[in-house]
Every structure is written in structure tokens, then in C-alpha cells.
A and B are shown apart, each in its own frame.
Chain A
Amino acid sequence: MPDTRPTVLFICHNHPSVRPGGAEAYALELHRHLVASGEVRSVFLAKGGPPLAPAGRVHLGTCVAPVDDRPDEYFFFTDDWNGAYDWTFGTIREDKRLYTKHMRAFLRAIQPDVVHFQHTMFFGYDILREVKNTCPDAAIVYTLHEFMPICHRQGQMLRKTDDTPCMQESPRRCNECFPEIDQQTFFLRKRFVQSHMQVVDRFIAPSEFLAQRYIDWGLPEEKVQVEEYGRTPPAGEASIQPRRHRDRFGFFGQLTPFKGLQVVLEAIIELHGSASAQQDPLLAALERAAAPEAPAGRRVRREEPEPRPHVRIHGANLDLQPGQFQNRIAELLERAGDSVTFIGAYDHDDLHAYMAEVDWVIIPSIWWENSPLVIQEAFHFGRPVIASDIGGMAEKVTNDVDGLHFRANDPTSLAATMRRAATEPGLWDRLRGGIRPVYRMDEHAQRLSGIYEELLHDRTPAHVG
């Protein structure tokens, strides 16, 4: 029986089995869900090899190889062109055969009806043009995970001048962040990227905030659709033990400067004072003696434990960060002393166990964020979220409903919020009650299938260009 199902090709910058990452994990989940559902034929193409993996292309004459023995997941190796990848423009410069010969061959073999881009990083934006050339009747969908097409600072839209969030790109402002790149280059970059993005039929934006930034940047509004990430529920349960104080906080995420770990550490330091003071029993005794008398009629139970805010840090890749940042974190960790537990890298399958050890999840990113997967994971495990009050975080966490906001990049504000979180009676329970069910993958996949169908149905006869 010939397979008449439509073929969906996912194109992604990494396969999660090589190196973990949020966008690629979601994308692979989506693909495998579609495979399991059987309604479409789904193929997943990830860029393989350096720089993310040491091992690159193995076979001469082809740029593809299957991922392990899966028939529907492939690596695409760009080894021969890695040196020529232009990070400013997002393209391979002089030699376009990556697109016009090798990608073309793969596309001709797969014959996708839908090409759903998760990323073009490491491939170059030209790949969009090549898909349009070779699959003129295919629907082209592009999920936007961050602001890389807009912002040269790793897609963060965070000003390099002072680490404040940026709402508006322009040749002048981008040049201010990157004085070594002139304004005309930024102009050319934008025109180049937008030229290739014109072939996309539908952009998927996981948050309203992100959608609006792209519309401001120049994507046609009618092409941008807001659609949240659908999630397969993580394995396991994170039990809730009764506790007097909900004073355990968890940070989950890559340990980059943009994720704001330094803000959490400074906040916890502020909450506790210096570690040495905590540990000195004489000083602690003196502090207690100096505490005001309890009002008459209330018995102070000395043995009743005070809230002791504690932060557990889960995340990888600290070793990949700039030395200055690593040093700063090391210094802050030392000052924070035993108010912080550094767990480091963790396996996603064990998430439930780690979530069980925390009451709150803090997402202190200093950049806008899009739709952090961590928020959905926290909500799945019934943990309210304390989030920076900007961008996608402020959108996905509703202050005083399912979490709390604090002023972005402000340790004092976070400290106050953490204090409130740890001490205010009934707050945690109320916020936990406000958590809505996490958007599920099956509903999401169905929504996307509907979009694919809609786009394929609307196909006008394709003309090149």
C-alpha cells in the first residue's frame, strides 16, 4: 500500500541525544509524538557533528546519516562548511552547495509536504530558499524559539551595553551593542534574513510577547500565530510533604549569564546575611538574644524552626560560560554557603525527584524569555513559579495567581519576594491552587496538524520566487 500520508520534515539545529537543550527536546518530542500517532509521516533532521559534537561526517559523498538506527531521524553534517559559517548573517558564504546540492538531494528523497523549521542555526537562512526552490508546493512553517533572527547577541535581545532588555533593534542600536560591526552590516543582515523568511507560510510563536517582537521587527502579522509548546508530561510524581514554611527554592536551567543564576545567589545572600555570621554559634546566639520580646500572651516556641530559605541549583554548562561569569558564580556560591545546594547537571527523567525537594521554582532570567519549558514543568509538578516580571515569563506566570513576579535583574526585589514566599501563611497553597493544567502535547500536535492541513489546503500553484 503506498503511503499517502503527508510527510512532515522537522529541521533543527541539534539532536538532544548529542547535547541537551530545550528547543530541540521539545522538537524531538513533537516529532516522536507524530510518529506514534501515525497520522503523518514525520522525519526529524538535526544538524550533527561539530561544534556541538566531536564526531562529524563519516561517509564521503553524503551529508546525512541516521541517528542510531532510527529510520526517521537524521543527522545532517555541515563539516565542510563549518569554517565558512558567517555568524553575523547566518549563512555559509562562498560555497552554496550545502544547500543547492546536498540539502537538495535530501529534500528530493524525502519529498516533504510540510517543512517545519525549528531553527536554521549552523545551516544558514539560505536553507529556507532552497526548500522553497526544491519543494515549491510544500507548506513552510517556522517555530520561533528566541530572537536569533532579530538579535546578534545570541537572540537574547539584551543590550550588551548594560544588560538591560531591548525592545527595538535598529542599525544604530545594534552597532552600539557591537561597535565592531557597522550599521550598514546590521542593515544588510536584516534584509538578508527577512528575504529568506519571506518563504515561510506560518510562524509559530510560543508566547504573545515573542510574537509581538517579531511583528514589530517586520514579520507580517497575518503570518504569525501564537501557539504554546505542548508537553508530554514528565515521568513520575513530585510528592508534596507538609511543611511549616515553604522555604525551599529551585533553579532549573542552563547556567548562562542570561538565565540569571547570579540574581538568585545575590538574593539568597541578602536574605541570610553572610555565611560566616550564620555559622558562628556565638553570633547566632547573640542575634537571638537581641531579638525583640514576643508580645505578651504569645508563647514563643524557641524550638519552632524559623523559615530558612534555601536554594537548590540544577543546571549544566557552567563550564562553557565566560571565565568572568564562572568566577563570579564561584564567589557567590562561597558567600552563600550552606543556604545553597549546587546539584549541577541533571537528567530530565529525574526531574520529579528534584522537584520533590523544592516548593517554589525560580526563573530569574535577565532576558525576555519566550516560553520557558521550566515553567510548564514546575506547573506540572504543582510548584508555583517566581519569575522576572518581563517578557515571556511575565506572560506565562500570573502574579498572585500561580506565582509571583519580581523586578527583573534585581536581587533585592527577588529577596523580598522570596521572603514573602517563605513566610506568608497560605500563599503557597493558594498559588498552587491557581496553577492551570499544562498544555498537553497531544492537543498541541493536533493543533499543528490542523495548521499543516490548512496551509496545504490553501496552496495556490507555486511559482518560484
Chain B
Amino acid sequence: MTAPPPMSAEPRTATRRAPRGAVAAATNGAAPAGRIEALTFLGANFALALARGLPDPDRALRGWLIDEGRRQRLTVTTIAVAADGATTLLLLGGGRRSLVAPPTGGIELEQPGRRGVGEPVSVAQANVPPEQLGQRLRDEFDAAARARLQERILARVARSAGSLADASGPLAALHDATRDQLPRPEAGPSAACVAHVDGFWRVDHASYYVEGWAFDRKAQLRSLRLVTPEGRRVELLRNAFRYSRPDVCTHFSVPASERLGFIAFVELPEECASHDGWALQGELSDGSGFEVKAPPVVDQPLALRTTILNDLDLDDGDGLLRSAHLAPALTRLQRRLSESVEIELVDQHGIPPEDPEVTIVVPLYRRTEYLEHQLAQFVHDPEIRRADLIYVLDSPEEAARLRRLAGHLHDLYGVPFRLAILSANAGYSTANNLGASLARGRKLLLLNSDVLPAQPGWLSRMVDFYDAHPQVGALAPKLLYEDDSIQHAGLHFERNAADDGAGAGTWANEHFYKGLHRRFEPADVSRAVPAVTGACLLIDTELFRDLGGLRGIYVRGDYEDSDLCLRLREHEREAWYLADVELYHLEGQSYPTPERAAASRYNQWLHSDLWSAALSELEGVA
């Protein structure tokens, strides 16, 4: 039983509740109290309904879809009420069931306390295309209201997973019909206010990376917004990073010191599936506005990553570009890239060991000849034969070749191993994490492909030490270069006085005793250290999984190991260096490509930014 209706001017009416399954008819006998004049489907899950004459537009409504005799409950959201109070725009949602169009019955609205709202609306009669609905809306709502209602619709539809992509077309058509077409701005050398998008990239489902320029000769621009095809508007310029574009300055005859270029990382409240139809809208202080079409969205994550890394150079001393734009963009991009990669297949060579103590994960990227070199050493070590050895191919274009070669090598050396092929190049951290997801061992050893044992028996010595020291979270041995000098004897952190590209005051990873003689005495002491290298790192498998593995926010392999060690400290576990186990690490000696160097600088800055406080405490400096 519903609550008694409030006192109103309308006479009380008596209603007869329609039996289930039958089409309900408004039988109050009173004059129709509102009706749906137009209905537009937005994909399969939603519909917009323009209702007129609702007696009490502020009240919540219930809706029903009548189809083949069945009543399906609808959600009803009031999107907007026109100024005169007579017209209401409603959004009807099918909930988990799609609105089958067209329903054989109709759509009925109900206001609690009243039975029926006029006649049930027949969809066949009321169904209008979005453009037509848009025209109606133009009649009833002003421009600002239309913009707002469009965004409300978007927000509501976006809450239902998958619906936005489905509704995208109708929404874009609606938006096109409801908005005021702003003029294209004058762009010649004497222009006063104009903007342009040069590069427009999709970062992930709801964020974008925009590069362009904006010229505002007389400081008239109040806002510059990015507008999606479906009508979501996002302020672009206010938080954008500005930088010098001498070519644009020349065009408009202003000094080159004017920072006309902009770079912005933009997040949307909801995702947008469309690549075409985006625009920039400028609003000037005198109330006028302009609109500039944006180029189609480019969705090439790896190329975008390169672009972003190259843009690092544009950052000034304050680091605003990287902290407000590049880092958020890269973080989301990295997540997208790592989530998109999976293990495509796994080849088992030989008989897998029973109940292995250790899983060894070795990512292979391009230098696949290291597989042979490692096996030529592992063949002499019964401990490795008993380990759960997993190679992960991170350059899958070589899959066919490597799968063949792996078979040959197993036939020759007899060491059992698995070869996991990834669906795409994933990068160091994801390749390791995916390999670790296959682990059967109680302990996990991350091993670089360019690490070779000096002699057999090293694995059990590492495991024994780990087991004997419960405070150890990550354990790494002494690693040597090919000339027997020290490559790794533990890591520590130092703060850069001068700017080495990552910014002054940034923390950097440093190796103890790198380059010194193998027998350098201080390097022969096993001890707790601030961090250890991931090139040969032993960790409890459970612990590794609890920590979420290596963090994928770093680009292309760098700092993941120290990041892991710092996270271990938060779990009260330490990184330890084991001096009396030695392996060789043929660390790549080639000079990095510009992109690799940029990635390094970014990683160093990111790591420092995330851990600055902890590092200051750890290294005992201010």
C-alpha cells in the first residue's frame, strides 16, 4: 500500500489495478496527467523520453515496458525539467535486461500515489530519431541547459557497463542536434583568438593526451574545452602545460617567448568510444565562442609512449609537465599495455620436476642466443634440473624460431624447462610477472638472460641463506662482469646534486663497488643493503604475489627492482646481498637509444617522486 497522496487541487481518483500480464490502461477517468510525446532509443539499454504535462515533475517515477504481455521494470531518471515546468526529459533504463525495440506493448509511466500517467505510450508511435528529439529539446531548453543535460545523460548511461559504446551513435546525433554551432575562428596572422589540436592520442578508455596550441591576443579566452562527440565537455587549457612554439609565434607576430603550445593529459568522467567528431570549444569573456574540429583520435599506445617520453625534454625546472601530465598519462598507458598482454602458449620441454623448491623466471627479449649459453651452463648443475625453469619470450615475433630452437637445445642438453610465449611485447616487469604466474616453486628467482653461473651449486646456497635468515625478503648474489670485476654488490641510493636529466635533487640507484676487483674486501661481506638488483633476485613466491609482483609503472625495465625492495620494507622484510655466491652478468654495454635514455630519466624521476620520503629516511639524509 502506498502512502496517501499529498493534498492537491486535483480530485481524488479511484483506480483499478490492472491484473498482471494485461496491458494496463489508465482508467482514472480524469484528464490525462501528462504523456510521453517522444521516445528515442540510445542503444539497447536506454531510451530518452520527452514527457509533457507531468503533474509533479519533481517526483520520482516508475516505468514499465510492456512487451508480449510481460511487464519489464524500467529505471527512470529525470534528466531535466524545462523552465516552464511542463516538459520533462527522462532517461529510461532497462536495468540488466535490454530494452527490446520495439516492444509490442508500450511504455507506461507511473507516479507513486497515482495510478497511471495518462496512456501507456506506444513505442511505435512515439519512437523518434535523435535528431528530432534534439529539435524538440532546442525548443524547450536553452544552450547551457542542453549542454548540461547531455552530460547528465552521459554520466548515467556510463554507469551501466558497456552501454556507452552502444549508445554512442545516438548520443552523438543528439548532441549534434542540440548544440549551438559555434563559428570557426579566424586563424590568419591578424586573428585574435584561436586554438588548434596537433596531436590527439587515446591513452586508455577514458583518458587522452592532447598536444596543440592556443593563441589569445587580448586575453579574452575564458575557457577552452575539449568536447567529445557525445557531448562531454572537459576543460583543457586551464590545467594544460604551456611551452614555446616559435612557429606559431611567428605566424601571429608575437614574441617567441609567448608560450603558445600546450600539452594536456585529460581524463573523462566516462569512456568515449568514438575517434571522430571531437572538437575544441572556446568561450570568450564577451560571451562569444568558437569551435575548432579536432583531428581523429590516434590509438597507438606504443607510438604514444615514445611521444610522451620525447616530450620529457620540454619540461622546465618545476617539473609540472611530468607530474601533472606525463606521469599520469604514462601510468595509465603502462597499465593498459600490461593488461593487454597475456601468455599465449606454454611449451614444456622434458619432464617437469616434482615439487620444485625454486621457480626460475628468465625473460628473453631479442638476444635469444642467451638461451643456449645458459643451458650450456645449467647442464652441469643438477640443482637447476630440479628447479622449475621458465623462459618467457617477450619478443613474440621470434616465437616460431625460438620454439624450434628450444626443442633442439633441449634435445642436446636435456635440461627441462618451459617456454612461455607472450601475446605481445610486455616489457620487463610484466614479462616477469606473467612468468611468475606460472610458478610452481615455493621460491621465485628472477634471472636475467645475460646472467651465467660461475659454477654449479649456486642456487642451493642462495636458498639455504634465504631460509636461514627470516628477515630477508629479497636476496641477490655478487654479480661480475666478463673481466671478473664487480657488476653488483648491492644497491644504494644517492641524491643527485646536479641535474642529470631527471631533475636536480632526484634520487638515483647506485651500485656498491661497481668496477672494482672481484676480491675487493668490503664486497666480500654478506649484509642487508638498501636494495638489490633484479638480475638475480630470490624471493618467496607468496611474498612476491602479495606485493603484486614488479610494478609496471616503469617504462621498459629500470627501477622495478629497487621499487620492489622498498615495498618489501613496508612489509618489514629486508634486501640482502650474498657475497659468497658469484655469477656473471653480461650487462648490455651498448649506448642507449634516445628513447631508452628518455625512459631511464622518466623512471628515475618517477621512482624518486614516489619514494623520496622513504629514501631520505633510509639513507639518513634530509
Contacts and interface: CB of A to CB of B under 8 A. Distances in A.
Contacts of A133: 412, 414
B385 A465 contact: yes
B483 A170 contact: yes
Contact of B482 (A99, A100, A129, A187): A187
Interface in A229-282: none
A164 interface: no
B377 A195 contact: yes
Nearest to B408: A96
Given A187-B482, A191-B376, A100 B385 contact: no
Which of B377, B405, B411 has the largest count of A CB atoms less than 10 A from its CB?
B411
A458 interface: no
B586 A184 contact: yes
A177 to B, nearest CB: 16
Contacts of B401: 94
A186 B385 contact: no
Contacts of A96: 408-409, 411-412
B412 A126 contact: yes
B412 A130 contact: yes
Given A192-B376, A198-B380, A465-B380, A171 B483 contact: yes
B66 to A, nearest CB: 70
Interface in B400-454: 401, 404-405, 408-409, 411-414, 452
Interface in A443-465: 464-465
Contacts of B459: none
A141 B592 CA distance: 46
B571 interface: no
Interface in A53-105: 93-97, 99-100
A195 B376 contact: yes
Given A195-B380, A196-B376, A184 B589 contact: yes
A97 B482 contact: no
Contact of A195 (B379, B404, B408, B411): B379
A182 B589 contact: yes
A96 B371 CA distance: 14
Interface residues of B, number: 24
A424 B482 CA distance: 54
Contacts of B404: 94
Contacts of A465: 379-382, 385, 414
B411 A191 contact: no
Contacts of A187: 482-483, 584, 586
Contacts of B373: 188, 191-192
Contacts of A188: 373, 452, 482, 586
Interface in B464-520: 482-483
Contact of B452 (A172, A182, A191): A191
A135 B404 CA distance: 25
B487 to A, nearest CB: 12
A183 interface: yes
Nearest to A94: B405
Nearest to B369: A93
Contacts of A191: 373, 376-377, 452, 584
Interface in A162-193: 170-172, 182-184, 186-188, 191-192
Contacts of B413: 129
Interface in B291-330: none
Contact of A183 (B377, B409, B411, B483): B483
Contacts of B589: 182, 184
A396 B382 CA distance: 44
Contact of B483 (A93, A126, A172, A198): A172
Contact of B408 (A97, A170, A192, A464): A97
A191 B414 CA distance: 18
A408 B149 CA distance: 97
B411 A100 contact: yes
Interface string A181-218: 01110111001100110100000000000000000000
Nearest to A191: B452
A172 B483 CA distance: 7
A198 B377 CA distance: 11
Contacts of A184: 482, 586, 589
Interface string B280-295: 0000000000000000
A129 B404 CA distance: 19
A95 B408 CA distance: 7
Contacts of B409: 96
A112 to B, nearest CB: 19
Contacts of A172: 483
A65 B371 CA distance: 34
B484 to A, nearest CB: 9
Interface in A133-170: 133, 170
A95 B382 CA distance: 25
Contacts of B411: 96, 100
A267 B520 CA distance: 51
A244 B414 CA distance: 69
A63 to B, nearest CB: 16
A44 B606 CA distance: 65
B114 to A, nearest CB: 81
Nearest to A132: B379
Contacts of A192: 373, 376
A94 B483 contact: no
A126 B372 CA distance: 11
A97 B482 CA distance: 31
A187 B584 CA distance: 10
A187 B480 CA distance: 12
A355 B584 CA distance: 54
A179 to B, nearest CB: 14
A198 B376 CA distance: 11
A184 B587 CA distance: 9
Which of B377, B408, B409 has the largest count of A CB atoms less than 10 A from its CB?
B408
B53 to A, nearest CB: 81
Nearest to A92: B408
B581 to A, nearest CB: 17
A129 B376 CA distance: 9
A445 to B, nearest CB: 33
Nearest to B482: A187
A192 B589 CA distance: 20
A130 B452 CA distance: 22
A96 B404 CA distance: 10
A342 to B, nearest CB: 46
B586 A100 contact: no
Interface in B547-604: 584, 586, 589
A171 B482 contact: yes
A196 B377 CA distance: 9
A33 to B, nearest CB: 34
A295 B413 CA distance: 81
Which of B377, B379, B380, B401 has the largest count of A CB atoms less than 10 A from its CB?
B379
Contacts of B584: 187, 191
Contacts of A196: 376
A182 B367 CA distance: 15
B408 A94 contact: yes
Interface string B366-392: 000100010011011110010000000
A188 B482 CA distance: 8
A170 B376 CA distance: 20
Contacts of B452: 188, 191
A268 to B, nearest CB: 44
Given A129-B413, A192-B376, A195-B377, 10 more contacts: A93-B369, A94-B401, A94-B404, A94-B408, A100-B412, A129-B412, A184-B589, A188-B482, A188-B586, A465-B380
Interface of A: 93-97, 99-100, 126, 129-130, 133, 170-172, 182-184, 186-188, 191-192, 195-196, 198, 464-465
* 4 closest residue pairs by CB, A with B: A187-B482, A96-B408, A100-B411, A195-B376
18 contacts: A94-B404, A96-B411, A100-B412, A129-B413, A133-B414, A170-B483, A171-B483, A186-B482, A187-B584, A191-B373, A191-B584, A195-B377, A195-B379, A195-B380, A198-B380, A465-B379, A465-B380, A465-B414
